[in-house]
Amino acid sequence: MTASAVDQQIRGLRPPKVLVDPYVAQGSLVEPERRPNGKIEQTLTVFLTGAECPFTCSFCDLWRFTIDGPTPLGALPQQLQNVLETLDGTAVDRIKLYNASNFFDLRAVPAEDLPTLARLVAPFAGVTVESHASMVGARTVEFARQFPGRLEVAVGLETVHPVALTQINKRLDLPGFDQAAQFVSEHNIDLRVFVLLGTPHVPANDSVEWTVRSVEYAVGRGAATVSIIPVRGGNGELERLQSRGDFTPPTLSELEEVLDRCNRFTGSVVTADLWDVECLPACESCGPARVERLRRLNISGVAEPRIGCAKCGGE
């Protein structure tokens, strides 16, 4: 994919990358996760090191720990094998392979590595990988057939705001997303969707409303799981947009409101992404308790009253 002028502008504002080893994963974690059937799965997430995503989204921070060239042949299986060896008998139901790019991009995941990766994930009942909607296709189905567990593809919808979706440099429109959602459904593959809170070019006063609408859209397209991701600054482009009034960092209160409002959706699990949640603007007195409430909601899906606070009034 040829870099456009917008790509070059966004990349030019980034701070330097961290030097990473393509044969060493960025990390891993095991945590409980609720599924649409109500089951709580122990889920292993492996953060793989590989090629940078060719889509230069204005909000992205995942490029920081990627390599500049293509992923070397054999690197991903070695990373995954090393992580699996550290489990030491820990019971795990699902594995997520997040490579900060697109799993079905041959530059990011060499085709020759797919059979080995499939063998390594064979013990798990569920396998989640991530991909841009435009790269979901025949290779997705081929990979799903190589292991006994059920494949889930995580796709970034980000927003259904008509202006923002065209401005965030995602190279995705709603028909393209719909096509990917229909494709995985027809091939008995689950869909996980990422939706942003604080999307650039969405007016701050409308941010919560458009995030809820975006979640509703994903649920309506059959998403098994929807993860609400607060936009994190630090890539240079977001700071440029903020200086122009085109981006307002989201708050913990907004994340709470979105998750509470999305509790009414049925048939899908809607959760708040709590990665770096401590960076969201929040009251020092009640912030930690409010974050713990979100953790409980993610697992239970059962509504709870908001945390009261004499200092801030829960804002």
Domains and CATH numbers, the chain: 5-300 (3.20.20.70)
Phi, psi angles (nearest 5°) of residue 88: 50, 50
111 to each of 72, 117, 140, 248, how far by Cα in Å?
Answer: 11, 10, 11, 40
Residue 265 has pLDDT above 90, yes or no: yes
Supply the pLDDT for residue 312: 85
Of all helices (H) and strands (E), which one includes residue 32? strand 27-34
Residue 3 has pLDDT above 90, yes or no: no
Of all helices (H) and strands (E), which one includes residue 40? strand 40-47
| One-letter identity of residue 198 | G
Residue 121 has pLDDT above 70, yes or no: yes
Average pLDDT in the chain: 96
Q: Is the pTM of this model over 0.75?
A: yes
Query: What mean pLDDT is predicted for residues 240-265?
Result: 97
Q: Label residue 1 by pLDDT band (50, 70, 90).
A: low
Tokens 């907004």 sit on residue? 254
Residue 97 has pLDDT above 70, yes or no: yes
Supply the pLDDT for residue 315: 60
Q: Six-digit token pair at 8? A: 């070059």
